[in-house]
Amino acid sequence: MDALFPPGPQKSLLLGDAPHFKENPLGFMLQSARTYGDLVHFRFGPSHAYLLTNPRDAHYVLVERHDQFATTMSLGRAFNSAMGHDLFAPKDKTTKKPLRRGMFRVEWLEHTLDAAARHAAQELEHRQHNNPTELLDLLTGKIVAATLLGDVTRTDLVIRLQRALRRHSSKRDFQSPLTLPTWIPTTRNRECQRADKQITQFLEQILEDQQANRQPSVLQNLLQNYENEAYALEELLTLLQAGYEAAAQTVAWAWALLAQHPEAAEALHAEVVPLGSRKPNTDDLANLVYCEMVLKETMRLHPPTKIISRQAKKETRLGEYYVPSGSTIFISPYIIHHSARYFTSPDRFLPERFGESFARQSSSYAYMPFGAGTYAQVEQEYALTVGKLTLALLAQRFRFTAAAQPENATVPVGLGLAPKE
């Protein structure tokens, strides 16, 4: 029977791998990948799951055959996985979407990025926040509000909306087969429903503001380009997630890594010296080459999306094995990014690996901090833009300090800023 499945960890008779998985999903997957290779088999009760650690396979699932894999888990499909054939055939809700001619483009930021830098710099000049997380929230919140909404006075709305998104489990890329359906009234599901209501209220407020405020913004461009405003707001939320949460998280980790690597910190500070006290603007972004390298390397070590889950809509082949319909597919950018097969010295902080002279990774699909596909590219591009602006503003005025980071820390600790001499 086991010959039908790829290798995987030892499983209990009834629960399979569920007990180990529940304690530490990422740690368990990382150890399993190192032990069993490119394709790892898990079992959760009677249903099956697979971990892909080859970038080529990940690209196949996320891009080439994305229509064959659902982004949300279905109990019906999970039973199919256990039975080995389509005993249950849940119908996917499909709606005809308009052409995505409204997809975000960086040139849309030209009219708003300078204002965003000005407001963020003012926040630093009048800074009264000793909490680095709070400071990054405000800086990125101001930049996102100015660029996406064209109105920096909505910073508080951006921050509250993002916090509601964090509480909304359906907005996350990672869903476990152990996650209960949303209709079951668990504490978590009730919290998600409250967050969903808040998100709707915030979006209604944003649309109302846009009717009164016709300042240039990304949202104005999206509303003009999409036939249906719901899709414009869907894309806005994608950008919000990338520009606020992912950018703030990445800058925080870059902050900690620069504090522990003085050579990299010196190279970054040298790059912002030509700016003097002038706020960076749209034209400066292209010259912040090392700043971008630092952020890309930070996203490699600490990708904003650590685990992605999909569910096979029908039987499919992965490598040498046939995967039953309903099987859960896990893809971990974190595991791929920390593989010596694809990155030299994968656990070292080396911004230079993203320079022109550094040897390329062995797979063009290996770098995937937000996953793969059009939306992942959009998220990465916007997060880098917001991150570069934030990091450059900080580096102009301060030197980075941080405590030694605990092993397997999920967020950086002990961050601090020292005035530049």
Tell me which of 82 and 288 has the higher pLDDT: 288
Using a pLDDT cut of 90, give the percent of the chain over it. 37
Residue 127: pLDDT over 80: no
Residue 99: pLDDT over 50: no
Residue 421 falls inside a structural domain: no
The domain of 244 spans 2-415
Residue 146 falls inside a structural domain: yes
Q: Which of 78-82, 309-313, 332-336 has the lowest mean pLDDT?
A: 78-82
Mean pLDDT of 382-387: 94
Tell me which of 200 and 293 has the higher pLDDT: 293
CA angle 105, 111, 112 (to 5 degrees): 90
Element (H, E) at 269: helix 262-272
Mean pLDDT of 112-141: 85
Residue 368: pLDDT over 50: yes
Residue 52: pLDDT over 90: yes
How far is residue 31 from each of residues 22, 35, 50, 335, 415, measured CA to CA in Å? 14, 6, 14, 9, 30
- 326 Cβ contact list (under 8 Å, min separation 6): 47, 74, 76, 77, 78, 79, 80, 81, 82, 86, 88, 311, 312
Residue 29's nearest CA partner among 242, 272, 308 is: 308
User: How far is Cα 290 from Cα 253, in angstroms, rounded to an integer?
Assistant: 16
At residue 205, the pLDDT reads: 84
349-366 tens-digit pLDDT: 999 999 987 766 667 899
Most confident of 58-62, 75-79, 362-366: 58-62
Residue 26 falls inside a structural domain: yes
The predicted model scores a pTM of: 0.89
User: How far is Cα 136 from Cα 124, in angstroms, rounded to an integer?
Assistant: 10
Residue 201 falls inside a structural domain: yes
Residues linked to residue 371 through DSSP beta bridges, in sequence order: 369
Is the separation of the CB atoms in 269 and 365 below 8 Å?
A: no
Mean pLDDT of 26-49: 90
Mean pLDDT of 188-209: 79
Residue 172's nearest CA partner among 306, 40, 270, 265 is: 306
- What CATH number has the domain bearing residue 67? 1.10.630.10
Residue 115: pLDDT over 60: yes
- 321 Cβ contact list (under 8 Å, min separation 6): 4, 5, 6, 39
Residue 420 falls inside a structural domain: no
* Total domain count, the chain: 1
Residue 65 falls inside a structural domain: yes
- 134 Cβ contact list (under 8 Å, min separation 6): none
At residue 96, the pLDDT reads: 47
- 418 Cβ contact list (under 8 Å, min separation 6): 398, 399, 400, 401
Mean pLDDT of 31-55: 91
Residue 137: pLDDT over 90: no
Is the separation of the CB atoms in 132 and 415 below 8 Å?
A: yes
Mean residue pLDDT of the chain comes to 84
Tell me which of 111 and 56 has the higher pLDDT: 56
Residue 337 falls inside a structural domain: yes
Residue 416 CA neighbour count, 13 Å, CB half? 8
Mean pLDDT of 145-152: 88
At residue 125, the pLDDT reads: 82
Q: Which of 31-45, 127-141, 308-322, 333-347 has the lowest mean pLDDT?
A: 127-141
Mean pLDDT of 144-155: 87
Mean pLDDT of 71-87: 62
**Type of residue numbered 95:** T
